[in-house]
Protein backbone atom coordinates (compact mmCIF):
# COMPACT_ATOMS: atom_id res chain seq x y z
CA UNK A 1 0.00 0.00 0.00
CA UNK A 2 1.27 3.47 -0.92
CA UNK A 3 0.14 6.82 0.37
CA UNK A 4 0.91 9.87 -1.75
CA UNK A 5 0.78 13.41 -0.40
CA UNK A 6 0.91 16.60 -2.45
CA UNK A 7 1.29 20.07 -0.96
CA UNK A 8 0.57 23.01 -3.26
CA UNK A 9 1.52 26.54 -2.28
CA UNK A 10 -0.47 28.98 -4.39
CA UNK A 11 -0.65 32.72 -4.84
CA UNK A 12 -4.10 34.07 -5.55
CA UNK A 13 -4.71 36.84 -8.04
CA UNK A 14 -6.62 40.01 -7.25
CA UNK A 15 -7.94 38.96 -3.83
CA UNK A 16 -8.39 41.56 -1.12
CA UNK A 17 -10.23 39.71 1.63
CA UNK A 18 -10.63 36.29 3.18
CA UNK A 19 -14.15 36.15 1.74
CA UNK A 20 -12.78 36.62 -1.79
CA UNK A 21 -10.10 34.02 -1.02
CA UNK A 22 -12.79 31.48 -0.10
CA UNK A 23 -14.59 32.22 -3.37
CA UNK A 24 -11.44 31.15 -5.25
CA UNK A 25 -10.15 28.31 -3.07
CA UNK A 26 -13.44 26.54 -2.40
CA UNK A 27 -14.26 25.95 -6.11
CA UNK A 28 -10.65 24.87 -6.71
CA UNK A 29 -10.83 22.24 -3.97
CA UNK A 30 -14.25 21.11 -5.26
CA UNK A 31 -12.91 20.78 -8.82
CA UNK A 32 -10.02 18.55 -7.72
CA UNK A 33 -12.45 16.41 -5.70
CA UNK A 34 -14.87 16.18 -8.63
CA UNK A 35 -12.21 15.19 -11.18
CA UNK A 36 -10.47 12.76 -8.83
CA UNK A 37 -13.10 11.27 -6.50
CA UNK A 38 -10.55 8.92 -4.90
CA UNK A 39 -8.41 11.68 -3.40
CA UNK A 40 -8.75 13.69 -0.22
CA UNK A 41 -8.21 17.42 -0.73
CA UNK A 42 -8.42 20.41 1.60
CA UNK A 43 -7.04 23.85 2.29
CA UNK A 44 -4.30 23.10 4.79
CA UNK A 45 -2.29 26.27 5.33
CA UNK A 46 -2.01 30.05 5.11
CA UNK A 47 -5.54 30.22 6.46
CA UNK A 48 -5.18 33.79 7.73
CA UNK A 49 -3.50 35.22 4.61
CA UNK A 50 -5.82 36.49 1.91
CA UNK A 51 -3.49 36.15 -1.12
CA UNK A 52 -1.87 32.80 -0.28
CA UNK A 53 -3.26 29.32 0.15
CA UNK A 54 -1.88 25.87 0.76
CA UNK A 55 -3.80 22.95 -0.68
CA UNK A 56 -3.14 19.39 0.49
CA UNK A 57 -4.00 16.33 -1.58
CA UNK A 58 -3.69 12.70 -0.45
CA UNK A 59 -4.22 9.43 -2.29
CA UNK A 60 -3.92 5.77 -1.33
CA UNK A 61 -3.03 3.19 -3.96
CA UNK A 62 -1.64 -0.29 -4.45
CA UNK A 63 1.23 1.01 -6.60
CA UNK A 64 3.65 3.89 -6.36
CA UNK A 65 3.25 4.61 -10.07
CA UNK A 66 -0.49 5.15 -9.70
CA UNK A 67 0.03 7.48 -6.71
CA UNK A 68 2.50 9.58 -8.68
CA UNK A 69 0.23 9.64 -11.73
CA UNK A 70 -2.78 10.86 -9.76
CA UNK A 71 -0.79 13.49 -7.85
CA UNK A 72 0.82 14.76 -11.07
CA UNK A 73 -2.63 15.11 -12.64
CA UNK A 74 -3.90 17.02 -9.59
CA UNK A 75 -0.90 19.32 -9.75
CA UNK A 76 -1.46 20.03 -13.45
CA UNK A 77 -5.13 20.76 -12.84
CA UNK A 78 -4.24 23.42 -10.25
CA UNK A 79 -1.24 24.80 -12.16
CA UNK A 80 -3.26 25.58 -15.28
CA UNK A 81 -5.88 27.66 -13.48
CA UNK A 82 -5.55 31.24 -14.80
CA UNK A 83 -6.64 32.96 -11.58
CA UNK A 84 -3.82 31.51 -9.46
CA UNK A 85 -0.04 31.11 -9.59
CA UNK A 86 1.48 27.85 -8.36
CA UNK A 87 4.49 28.84 -6.25
CA UNK A 88 5.61 25.35 -5.26
CA UNK A 89 4.50 21.75 -5.29
CA UNK A 90 5.89 19.05 -3.02
CA UNK A 91 5.13 15.36 -3.41
CA UNK A 92 5.87 12.69 -0.83
CA UNK A 93 5.31 8.98 -1.09
CA UNK A 94 4.98 6.64 1.88
CA UNK A 95 4.57 2.88 1.90
CA UNK A 96 3.55 0.47 4.62
CA UNK A 97 7.09 -0.96 4.84
CA UNK A 98 8.48 2.32 6.20
CA UNK A 99 8.55 2.92 9.91
Which tens digit of pLDDT belongs to each residue from 69-96? 999 999 999 999 988 999 999 999 999 8
Averaged confidence pLDDT in the chain: 92
What is the spatial distance between Cα 52 and Cα 9, in angstroms, rounded to a whole number?
7
| Pairwise CA distance, residues 19 & 73, whole Å | 28
Q: Does domain 2-93 have CATH number 3.30.70.1120?
A: yes
Q: With CA atoms as reference, report the closest residue to 77 among 36, 39, 43, 20.
A: 36
The H or E element that residue 75 is part of is: helix 64-79
Domain ranges of the chain: 2-93
* Per-residue model confidence (pLDDT) at position 67: 94
Burial annotation 3-40 (CB, 10 A radius, 16+ → b, else e): ebbbbbbbebeebeeeeebeebbeebbeebbeebeebe
What integer pLDDT is reported at residue 96 of this predicted model? 81
Query: For residue 41, how many other CB atoms are within 10 A of its CB?
Result: 21
Residue 23 to residue 58: CA distance in whole angstroms:
23
Say how far apart CA 74 and CA 3 lie, in whole Å: 15
pLDDT tens for each residue of 4-56 = 999 999 999 888 999 999 999 999 999 999 999 999 999 999 889 989 999 99
* pTM, rounded to two decimals: 0.88
Amino acid sequence: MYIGALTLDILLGDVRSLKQKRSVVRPLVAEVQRRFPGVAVAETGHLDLHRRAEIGVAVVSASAANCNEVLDACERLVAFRPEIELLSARQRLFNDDEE
